[in-house]
Structure 1
């Protein structure tokens, strides 16, 4: 009986990868740091300080490189071809930006709709964090959300997980499952929805370009849209990004604009990729 060769990673492997990156390796590193501080009797404040944020960032960087080192040594994965710029152009970047703004308009309205669901404390907490990022930008937030976060997540989710799925499953199945896994990795029902939708787009970019450069670019723009809208463009649309207590919606024209931007951008990107 002929057996089908399975490539790394499959769905089970990807879950293990995410657990190690999100939980196990950071937990071990934090435990070692706590033991070090306890051994030298160093006292730290339990209240939030910027230093704590940078410490978490350093831990995430270490976790990423430890994971990549292990995967490369154990499975001999090739990473060089992931950073090809041959299929990434100025035209593509413009339509990616416009599409992401359209998605932001639509997903903001989705958040307004989700406010009707009882017990939306998680949504409000998440929105509050995003608003703080938009209003109070800092080097730590920039490094985490715009630089290292997109780089690390696209390397893992598109460069390793989706790439492995494409060897094991059909392109459509690989794209959908990898997007759902990306959503689940955010461990939050509201972020699951937005991350899964974003993951579909990032994955589609990888399918078309076979490079994670466009994915990293799109992810970075997506993570910084709140800052761009609030600080740079200073757009003030009722119930856009800012969550109100009245559970009202955005203007209809704004929703239509978001849908139009997404449809036109996808059409243009498909046209570019086809040529």
Structure 2
């Protein structure tokens, strides 16, 4: 028998130290951007910034530590789910995960590029800079690791954990999916209202529906990781050809 009061507290605490915290800070960030002297369209949102560009060795250490710490919340989420749901597990099927992951990445990514462009034209999005690490031997590996961390963190916490816990609380499936998607969009608000909020909200709806139908999160992790690798590494390699997105 699941203690619903304990589950509610657990959900609030886990979100409070992970993506819920990010959502609150992102809401403050968009308020800051909207009340700043420059219009939103003339501002920049950098996703993977350099922390100590004058000391690459320390910058690498910072990047690895920040990325590594990002795996703590999803590990805690898995632990909590396994504690209360003995049959819950990360169902890994390499061929199937890759196939579904590629399909979902294409479904989200191709319209997403158009949304980025339209958002910039309408002035409802900041200029998104996917990476600013500089040209170091470790830049691409760090970006790939960052993409993996994003996929693991967001899909395990926002999809596998949150939808399972909201089901424990007897939420209607679509109420849970919309709530999860709204939180996902909220912690991307610092990028603006187009690809940042709306794009991620739609992504959350599709991913939530997929998980409710299949109860499998690994394809979502694969899809999210692919999307971020293409965005981060693609920008690093082809920045000069992507000026049309600015």
| TM-score (norm. length: structure 1) | 0.59
1:138 and 2:148 correspond: no
Q: 1:179 aligned to 178, 181, 184, which one?
A: 181
Q: 1:215 aligned to 210, 213, 220, which one?
A: 220
Summarize the Cα distance change of 1:23–1:211 in structure 2 as closer, same or farther, 3 Å threshold. closer
Runs of 4+ in 1 over 6 A off after TM superposition: 133-136, 231-235
Q: 1:20 aligned to 11, 17, 40, which one?
A: 17
Q: How do residues 127-206 of structure 1 correspond to structure 2 at under 5 angstroms?
A: 127-128=128-129, 130-132=130-132, 137-145=139-147, 147-167=148-168, 168-186=170-188, 188=190, 190=192, 191-206=196-211
Summarize the Cα distance change of 1:88–1:60 in structure 2 as closer, same or farther, 3 Å threshold. same
Alpha carbon RMSD of aligned pairs, Å?
Answer: 3.8
Matched residue SS, 2:216: coil
Per the TM alignment, residue 87 of structure 1 is displaced from its structure 2 partner at its CA by: 10
The residue that corresponds to 2:89 in the other structure is 81
The residue that corresponds to 2:119 in the other structure is 111
Per the TM alignment, residue 169 of structure 1 is displaced from its structure 2 partner at its CA by: 1.9
Summarize the Cα distance change of 1:153–1:134 in structure 2 as closer, same or farther, 3 Å threshold. farther
Per the TM alignment, residue 176 of structure 1 is displaced from its structure 2 partner at its CA by: 0.9
Matched residue SS, 1:198: helix
Greater C-alpha Rg: 1
The residue that corresponds to 2:27 in the other structure is none
Matched residue SS, 2:96: coil
Summarize the Cα distance change of 1:178–1:58 in structure 2 as closer, same or farther, 3 Å threshold. same
Summarize the Cα distance change of 1:160–1:134 in structure 2 as closer, same or farther, 3 Å threshold. farther
1:61 and 2:71 correspond: yes
Q: What are structure 1's unaligned runs of at least 5 residues?
A: 25-45, 244-275
Task: For 1:217 and 1:223, locate their aligned partners in 2 and report how far apart those are by CA, in whole Å.
Answer: 10
Deviations 1:39-80 (A, max 9, x none): xxxxxxx835222111212322345435654x359x634474
Q: How many residues in Structure 1 have an aligned counterpart in Structure 2? A: 204
Deviations 1:23-43 (A, max 9, x none): 88xxxxxxxxxxxxxxxxxxx
Q: What are structure 2's unaligned runs of at least 5 residues?
A: 22-50, 54-58
Deviations 1:87-128 (A, max 9, x none): 93665344323213322223212431342x5xx6xx23xx12
Per the TM alignment, residue 224 of structure 1 is displaced from its structure 2 partner at its CA by: 2.0
Q: Is the 1:9–1:161 Cα contact (8 Å) retained in structure 2?
A: no
Task: For 1:187 and 1:156, locate their aligned partners in 2 and report how far apart those are by CA, in whole Å.
Answer: 18
